[in-house]
Structure 1
């Protein structure tokens, strides 16, 4: 039995699957991987500062100008789920309990139809008022160069619902709780560079959960996984799908 056959058998026999995803899952949809060696992130090392909660509260007007440009918000609705997103949906359609824990903020897992998605780093699709917590859609954000809260007596500048540098991660406990009850962990398209997201595979290893890593390049956490594939994600799911169906 070859490597791919073994992975297919593990997934096939699992009733519940937790899937950790990163930017590599969305690149086939045309969304840049900001942290890859060829991604937009390397163009400007100041992005971490400008995309911080500290900078938002220091200069929210300039923050929004940079935020919209960095995340290419005007293009967001042009992006569509790709074969990798669709693979996850097919697992759910096959009757598996699928929980996706994603670093991605593009909303493509929901658009693909997966019903249980934890947006670990928030979402580009909404913004909220830091004063009154009123929530606004991406359409409203895009209609206004600087989005202000419209609630009576408020008028504060909205803050995006993406987790900015310096913000608290609020989804980690939920993610660990999911891992407490799954048969297998599948990790795809992430370098596992960012903490505390990269602690989740360690938690799974501690729990003795079989784990599979599929990524375009090696990561510093590969040793935690029972099976590791370094290859193009779309190619892997194209070869893996018929073995599971």
Structure 2
């Protein structure tokens, strides 16, 4: 099956790659939504990580936000071979677009040229009043980050519960012009991100492959389905591609 996927990747001029938490776990970042993840430990986390709670109590929001995302905010993580493989695909393609659920910024750290951060990013925050952007270093330099221009409490650029998805149209546009869809490391449980494979298959008529450790509810949408460890699958894919 992976040989077939490698052949499709080799022939495609433009590829869209959808990625989820499974891509970053090899970098040591936990899957917050897995059965053993942080979100399953305490359902109230979803309330505290909501846009409603930010506007209700922005000071306490930042306290909880930094606690919940502490491991990611430490920025001790670096791109792993999966991120690097996606970057390598660019070498002989017109375009490789990454559409990621992950907010850790590792695709950009791996120098992928076209990245759509579907759920935003932990790497910066913006002022909800004047729109000024601030780096993660500034956010972490103070307990509650305030805008230096207007004094409002900054809002993280990660998508909070209750926020509107703003990247969906951009993601669909990227799919429209691609030849092949590769989906990796996601259970495809989160809407509307999980509608993108539907769009690729039913609206665009694109061939698609899924590589994920566990079966997903969307497996039927894919021409090629591989249930295996992502890191070892990528190692095999890289080997197959080099022989083509």
TM-score bracket relative to the smaller structure: over 0.9
The answer to whether the 8 A contact 1:216-1:232 is kept is: yes
Quote the Cα distance in structure 1 between the aligned partners of 2:37 and 2:114: 28
Query: TM-score, with normalisation over the residues of structure 1?
Result: 0.96
Partner of 2:165: 169
Deviation at 1:186, TM superposition (A): 0.3
Unaligned runs of 5+ in 2: none
Unaligned runs of 5+ in 1: none
**Among 145, 153, 158, which residue is 1:157 paired with?**
153
Deviation at 1:230, TM superposition (A): 1.0
| Aligned residue pair count | 241
Quote the Cα distance in structure 2 between the aligned partners of 1:24 and 1:212: 15
Deviation at 1:216, TM superposition (A): 1.2
**Among 203, 208, 212, which residue is 2:205 paired with?**
208
1:20-58 Cα shifts (integer Å, max 9, x gaps) = 001110011011111111222211111111110001001
Quote the Cα distance in structure 2 between the aligned partners of 1:131 and 1:213: 41
The answer to whether the 8 A contact 1:73-1:142 is kept is: no
Partner of 1:22: 20
Query: TM-score, with normalisation over the residues of structure 2?
Result: 0.96
The runs of at least 4 consecutive aligned structure 1 residues that moved more than 6 Å come to: none
**Among 191, 198, 203, which residue is 1:195 paired with?**
191
**Among 217, 221, 224, which residue is 1:220 paired with?**
217
Partner of 1:65: 63
Partner of 1:141: 139
The answer as to 2:27 corresponding to 1:6 is no
RMSD: 1.1
Partner of 1:78: 76
Partner-residue secondary structure (3-state), 1:86: helix
The answer as to 2:177 corresponding to 1:181 is yes
Quote the Cα distance in structure 1 between the aligned partners of 2:91 and 2:111: 10
